Each structure stands twice: as C-alpha cells, then as structure tokens.
C-alpha cells in the first residue's frame, strides 16, 4: 500500500491536483525533509533493486534511491562557452597536448548508457552520455608505464583522483552531451568527466585537464573527509 503523508497546503497549491494524483497512483511517496517535501519514486527503486548488473552486482548500490532525472549538485561554475574550453592532457605521458572544443568533437565519439550514483544517496538510471573515452585520450598522449592514477582537473582548482585502471574503463569519458542534448551549464557545460563505477563526485564538471600521475593525489572532497576510492557498492562514502 502506498504511504502518503499529508503535505502542507502550500505544497498542494504548488502541485496540480492531477499531478499529485498521478504520482500517488504510480507509487510515489512524499517525504518530509528539513521542513519541505520531495518525491521519492519507490516503484522505480524497487524495480531496479531486483535487477543485476553484468558483473553480478545489484544494479542499485546499498543505500541508494532511484530518481527520474540527474541532479546538478552544485559546484562553482566554470565558463559554459565552448569557445573558451581548453582541455590539457599532461603528466606521465609521452605526448602532452591540449584540445579546444572543436578538437574534442573531432576525435572519435562514443555513446555510453550508464547509471549515475551520488554520495547523497540518489541514483539516476540509463543516463545517455556522448563524448570521448579517456582511454582514447590516453592512447593519443602515450601514457607512460609509470602512470598509476588520473587526476581530473576542473574549474576553480577542483580535482578528483581516480585509479588508472578505472579511468581507462570502456564507459569512462569526457562527455559533452547528455540524453541527446548539449550539457546544460548546471551539469558542467561544455564538458565534464563521467566515471559511472564510482560515486559521482569523481566525475568533475567544467573539466579543464586530465593529468596522469605516478602517485595518488587526493582531490577536493577526498582531503575533506570523503573516501579516497568511492565505490558505491561498498558504500565508500567517507574516510
């Protein structure tokens, strides 16, 4: 049975009666949080929890709930203007180089359908990304055998560290399109990293550089108490 807690009169005025009834009929729960209300789609979560990934793990990691659309999750924005975009590939590589946005689009493009898992406990399923694989950029740069980690660099000094083998996975890319459209500014336009196997803070928005290193260098959130690895299925949320 669907459990619907009584929303405030303000909420009912903000949501049309028809929309409210449709959400209730499809298994939506209204939950109080911090004096406000938000919708959780229990049906989507239950359906996804019953599914298994190709690697044998459950599709939805522990402690996650499924939502219908990707959330922006803040961050200090960089420039969304493609004409100002520059991506530096540097560090433990034989051929460092820099790309503008046209150069990024000129490289082989890959479409990836991947689930997104945020450390704040939401998951968005089947997000459709388009961009350039990190492993294609690594091949172009000639990554040295000494490289062990990848440091994603983004606007305003934000960084995130990822193990090399995970950064070179076949679903990790520099994405410039989401669900058939150019990235919106809140999602990191014009380009962001996407690392689906890790919590989403490891996928920096407003990407400016990819640096290959021989030693690990914890990033912005890692030095502030977040887990250095960030595997959602192990609930590696905090150090």
CATH architecture of 82-234: Alpha-Beta Complex (3.90)
From residue 186, alpha-carbon distances to 28, 86, 150, 183, 204 in Å are: 26, 18, 24, 8, 12
Give SS3 for 125: strand
Cα angle value 10/14/18 (rounded, 5°): 120
Token pair of 219 as six digits: 């990033």
Shortest CA distance to 141 belongs to which of 96, 175, 171, 101? 96
* pTM: predicted TM-score of the whole model, two decimal places: 0.82
Residues 6+ apart with CB under 8 A from 8: 37
How confident is the model over 177-229, as pLDDT tens digits?
Answer: 999 999 999 999 999 999 999 999 999 999 999 999 999 999 999 999 999 99
Task: Compute the half-sphere exposure of residue 149: CA atoms within 13 Å on the CB side of its CA.
Answer: 17
Sign of the CA dihedral running 100, 105, 106, 112: positive
Task: Give the pLDDT score at 3.
Answer: 35
119 neighbors 101 (Cβ within 8 angstroms): no
Tell me the β-bridge partners of 213. Answer: 149
Domain residue limits, the chain:
9-67, 82-234
Task: Give the pLDDT score at 34.
Answer: 33
Task: Give the pLDDT score at 42.
Answer: 86
Task: Give the pLDDT score at 18.
Answer: 42
pLDDT lower than 70: segments of the chain: 1-40
CA torsion, ordered 32, 33, 38, 44, to nearest 10 deg: -90
């Amino acid at each position: 049975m669907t459990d619907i807690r009584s929303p405030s009169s303000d909420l009912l005025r903000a949501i049309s009666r028809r929309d409210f009834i449709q959400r209730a009929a499809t298994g939506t729960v209204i939950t109080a949080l911090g004096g406000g209300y938000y919708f959780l789609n229990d049906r989507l979560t239950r359906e996804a929890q019953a599914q298994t990934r190709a690697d044998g793990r459950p599709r939805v990691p522990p402690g996650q709930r499924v939502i219908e659309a990707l959330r922006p999750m803040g961050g200090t924005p960089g420039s969304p203007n493609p004409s100002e975009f520059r991506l530096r590939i540097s560090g433990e590589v034989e051929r460092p180089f820099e790309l503008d946005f046209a150069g990024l689009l000129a490289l082989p493009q890959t479409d990836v359908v991947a689930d997104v898992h945020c450390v704040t406990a939401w998951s968005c399923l089947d997000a459709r990304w388009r961009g350039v694989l990190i492993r294609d950029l690594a091949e172009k740069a000639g990554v040295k055998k000494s490289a062990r980690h990848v440091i994603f660099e983004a606007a305003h000094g934000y960084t995130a560290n990822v193990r090399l083998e995970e950064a070179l996975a076949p679903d990790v890319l520099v994405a410039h399109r989401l669900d058939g459209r150019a990235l919106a500014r809140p999602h990191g336009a014009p380009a962001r990293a996407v690392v689906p196997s890790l919590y989403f803070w490891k996928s920096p928005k407003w990407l400016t550089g990819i640096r290959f290193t021989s030693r690990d260098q914890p990033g912005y959130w890692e030095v502030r108490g977040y887990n250095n690895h960030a595997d959602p299925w192990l609930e590696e949320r905090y150090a």
